[in-house]
């Protein structure tokens, strides 16, 4: 094998959300004034990666031009990637899901004992729609204990929003390198090839996949021009590449909800320069500018939306990514925890670290819950009893905690693996509310003014 030379970016980033970026690992590697000259600088190949159709309006059009040592088309035919548990692509097929309206909660998903990389450790938890018609979303988890050596992955079905819960992810992409810590998120769009290394050993986390549309910042309305997740805090990598003559690489593709593998004799991470607005990015959740009530009542959780994937119906999302970060709680004469609720949306929750304020036990880091469309949910009995009588002084809540929610307008159906094979369903979850007793007093009178 010939010597390999890596041109590192040392985790350097370009700030901004949705920008048209330009990045070169070697000077003047980007063509001047055009995208496809007859001969590219340094003898590179020009390749366009389109995230939207050519004719999508300019405001929403997403694509990047990448300039690489070899084109990505140089690989063998794809063959099925065999694994014990298949991923799910069609959530409308009852053969793939267990339909239930029940409140669901899972204990932390296991770290594998056998050598397992990021792709091998993917499992479908719940979803709606069908990747074949590019409509819907899915929730997955990953649990891995080894790096993806000489392997790259790309997803033809949708965009991944990755939420590490345990262990950092050292992600090498065609656009550069990204180091993602727990309490940070990373979005890697459809078609982008990447490899995940595990610098801290075993790692676990959550993924929200959207089949149509892309992740965007939520509109702020009367909040104004600033607040929530600010665009300047998102980070996109700068170009970096590996130069080598021959190095066998396995390419794994998620297509139609199934995995396929091909072989090529060179690294896919040979992009010397790129420009465009279709590129992976990361965000530190600690930078979220939290907005809350400073008078009375518990504000709807939409005020904590970090990113949204909009549907065609205004104000309704294919998926929202919502967090419940450390913040001040100062409402007067108010039941401060989340209220009892029946929702036209589906709510999947996970916990990165700490203790969620609406549950006294059972919901722990690495676990999850799903409250389906119009299924009642809310604080458990101990939380209700405590919050009903505690002194309403200003309190800094959720300190050391980061809970999040994938919320969707779609009816999420759990998979067979999530309901049975994982062995993590808490079948006694319904008991969390059985201790809620009647406090009705027919002789109640208003307090004298």
Annotated binding site for homogentisate: 356, 377
- Residue (of 292, 295, 344) closest to 323 by Cα position: 292
Question: DSSP secondary-structure letter at 90?
Answer: B
- Helical H runs in 97-242? none
d(C-alpha 372, C-alpha 363), whole Å? 17
Q: Per the annotation, where are the binding residues?
A: 341, 347, 356, 377
- Is 298 tagged catalytic? yes
Cα–Cα distances in Å, from 442 out to 67, 90, 131, 174, 384? 75, 52, 54, 68, 21
Q: CB count, 10 Å around CB of 4?
A: 12
Query: Cα dihedral sign for 46, 29, 25, 233?
Result: negative
The span from the CA of 165 to the CA of 367, in Å, is 10
3-state SS, residue 421: helix
Which residues fall within 8 angstroms of residue 192, CB to CB, at 6 or more apart?
Answer: 49, 154, 173, 174, 175, 279, 280
Helix (H) or strand (E) holding 45: strand 45-50
Residues at the binding site for Fe cation are: 341, 347, 377
Q: Are 311 and 409 in contact (CB under 8 A)?
A: yes
In angstroms and rounded to an integer, the radius of gyration of the C-alpha atoms of the chain is 23
Q: Annotated catalytic residue: which of 243, 287, 298, 353?
A: 298
- Tokens 């400073």 sit at which residue? 294
- Among 435, 438, 415, 434, which Cα is nearest to 122's? 415
SS3 231: helix
Task: Quote the DSSP letter at residue 65.
Answer: E
Residues forming the active site: 298
């Amino acid at each position: 094998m010939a010597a390999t030379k890596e041109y590192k970016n040392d985790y350097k980033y370009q700030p901004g959300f949705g920008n048209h970026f330009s990045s070169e690992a070697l000077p003047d590697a980007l063509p001047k004034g055009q995208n496809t000259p007859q001969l590219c600088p340094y003898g590179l190949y020009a390749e366009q990666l389109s995230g939207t159709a050519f004719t999508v309006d300019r405001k929403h059009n997403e694509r990047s031009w990448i300039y690489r040592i070899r084109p990505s088309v140089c690989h063998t035919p794809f063959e099925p990637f065999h694994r014990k548990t298949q991923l799910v692509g069609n959530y409308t097929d009852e053969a793939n899901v267990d339909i239930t309206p029940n409140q669901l909660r899972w204990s932390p998903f296991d770290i594998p004992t056998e050598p397992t990389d990021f792709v091998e450790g993917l499992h479908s938890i719940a979803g709606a729609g069908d990747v074949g018609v590019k409509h819907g979303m899915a929730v997955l988890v990953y649990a891995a204990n080894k790096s993806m050596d000489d392997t790259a992955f790309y997803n033809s079905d949708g965009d991944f929003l990755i939420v590490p819960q345990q262990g950092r992810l050292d992600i090498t992409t065609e656009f550069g390198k990204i180091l993602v810590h727990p309490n940070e998120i990373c979005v890697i769009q459809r078609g982008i090839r990447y490899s995940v290394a595990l610098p801290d050993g075993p790692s676990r986390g959550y993924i929200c996949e959207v089949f149509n549309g892309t992740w965007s910042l939520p509109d702020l309305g009367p909040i104004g021009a600033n607040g929530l997740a600010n665009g300047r805090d998102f980070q996109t990598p700068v170009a970096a590449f590996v130069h080598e003559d021959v190095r066998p690489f396995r390419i794994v593709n998620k297509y139609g909800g199934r995995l396929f593998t091909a072989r090529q004799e060179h690294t896919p991470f040979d992009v010397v320069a790129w420009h465009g607005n279709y590129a992976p990015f990361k965000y530190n959740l600690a930078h979220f500018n939290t907005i809350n009530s400073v008078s009375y009542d518990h504000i709807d959780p939409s005020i904590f939306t970090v990113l949204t994937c909009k549907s065609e119906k205004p104000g309704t999302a294919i998926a929202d990514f919502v967090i419940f970060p450390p913040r001040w709680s100062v409402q007067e004469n108010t039941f401060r925890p989340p209220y009892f609720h029946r929702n036209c949306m589906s709510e999947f929750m996970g916990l990165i670290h700490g203790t969620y304020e609406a549950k006294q036990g059972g919901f722990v880091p690495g676990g999850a819950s799903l409250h389906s469309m119009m299924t009642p949910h809310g604080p458990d009995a101990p939380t209700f009893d405590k919050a009903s009588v505690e002194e309403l002084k200003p309190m800094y809540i959720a300190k050391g905690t980061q809970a999040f929610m994938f919320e969707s307008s779609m009816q999420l159906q759990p998979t067979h693996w999530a309901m049975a094979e994982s062995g993590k369903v808490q079948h006694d979850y319904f008991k969390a509310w059985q201790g809620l007793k009647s406090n009705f007093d027919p002789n109640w009178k208003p307090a004298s003014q």
